[in-house]
Structure 1
Amino acid sequence: MTSRTLYLFGSAAPPVFELAGVIETAQADGWDVCLGLTPSAARWLDDSLDELAALTGHPVRSEYKRPGEDDAWPKADVILFAPATFNSINSWAAGFTSSFVVGVVAEAIGKEIPTVAMPCVNAAYAQHRALDRSIAELREQGVAVLYKEEGGFTPNPAGSGKPKAYPWAAALAAAKKVAPA
């Protein structure tokens, strides 16, 4: 059986520290996982990047490759961007691709790669009108955004995050659901 490839992307939000377990869960479900991080998330996980690369069997990426370089990853069947911060969601929806992972998910829309995103924002950020507009924009372009719905992410009050309660199982289930047969 050929495994499917899941690009797992994360922003700098506390659930990013749970990625090793998420990778193991996805691998147990038959995914070949490639991990991409925003620059801030890569700094947060700096001490574990080698272990995460060994776990996935692929380099962890947070920067664009140089022109002409071979891609170190196989082609994605599905992309899961979780946790996706306020900045990442808004940058993506606006088409600002200064970070590698945001650039890849922006391009995935045009390449028709099934993509799931689950924000991780606090209730203060959630009050900013840009977030709802950005989520609506991404949904209109075919991105499955798991936010406030049954099983999706619901913001916590600022300063009271619950990273262990982040609904990773719902995110992985959604990625599996949108995967090509």
Structure 2
Amino acid sequence: MTSRVLYLFGSAAPPVLEAGQVIAEGQGRGWDVCLGLTETAAKWLGPQLHKLEELTGHPVRSEYKLPGEPDVWPPADAILLAPATFNTINSWALGLTSSFIVGVVAEGIGKRIPTVTMPCVNAAYVRHPAFSRSVETLRGAGVTVLYGEGGFEPNPPGEPRPDGYPWHLALDVISAVTG
């Protein structure tokens, strides 16, 4: 039996440091996981990148491939972008694809790849009017955005979430939207 392929993408927010655990959980749910990161998140995980590549069996990517280079990942059956920072959510909604992961998820909308995202933003960022418009834009494009009641709820600036980042919810929903 061939595993379904999950692109797990992460931005530079503290929950990205738990990528290894999330990959293992995704694999336990039957996913072949490919890890993609923003350039800053890749720097944060720098010492772990080799272990993460061994865990997934795929290169960790944070940059676009060069023209003419073959893709090193199998095609995605689903995409989970979490944690998604304020910048990532807004860039994606505006179609600003200078970041590898934002480019892939933006194209994923057009390819109709089931996509789930869960922000990791504090309460000050969500008061900015661009954030709610971006969430609405992504939802309107068919992206499942786990934000608000039943999803990620922002914490005050500088304070960690007492119950941690709800990775289990993101993995449950990506399984549900892909059947």
Superposition deviation, residue 149 in structure 1? 2.3
Q: Which runs of 4+ in 1 moved over 4 A?
A: none
**Matches of 1:114 and 1:39 in 2, distance apart?**
24
Over the aligned positions, Cα root-mean-square deviation in angstroms equals 1.0
Aligned to 1:156: 155
In the alignment, structure 2 segments of 5+ residues that lack a partner are: none
Superposition deviation, residue 163 in structure 1? 8.1
Equivalent position amino acid for 1:18 in 2 = E
Aligned to 1:89: 89
Aligned to 1:40: 40
**Matches of 1:161 and 1:39 in 2, distance apart?**
23
Matched-pair identity in %: 65
Superposition deviation, residue 2 in structure 1? 1.2
Paired residues of 1:135 and 1:145 also in contact (CA < 8 A): yes
**Matches of 1:18 and 1:61 in 2, distance apart?**
17
- TM-score with structure 1 setting the length: 0.97
**Matches of 1:19 and 1:163 in 2, distance apart?**
19
Paired residues of 1:15 and 1:164 also in contact (CA < 8 A): no
State how many pairs are aligned. 179
**Matches of 2:125 and 2:9 in 1, distance apart?**
21
Equivalent position amino acid for 2:10 in 1 = G
In the alignment, structure 1 segments of 5+ residues that lack a partner are: none
Paired residues of 1:14 and 1:163 also in contact (CA < 8 A): no
Between 121-130 and 154-163, report the one with greater CA deviation: 154-163
SS of residue paired to 2:24: helix
1:113/1:52 Cα in 2 relative to 1: closer, same or farther (>3 Å)? same
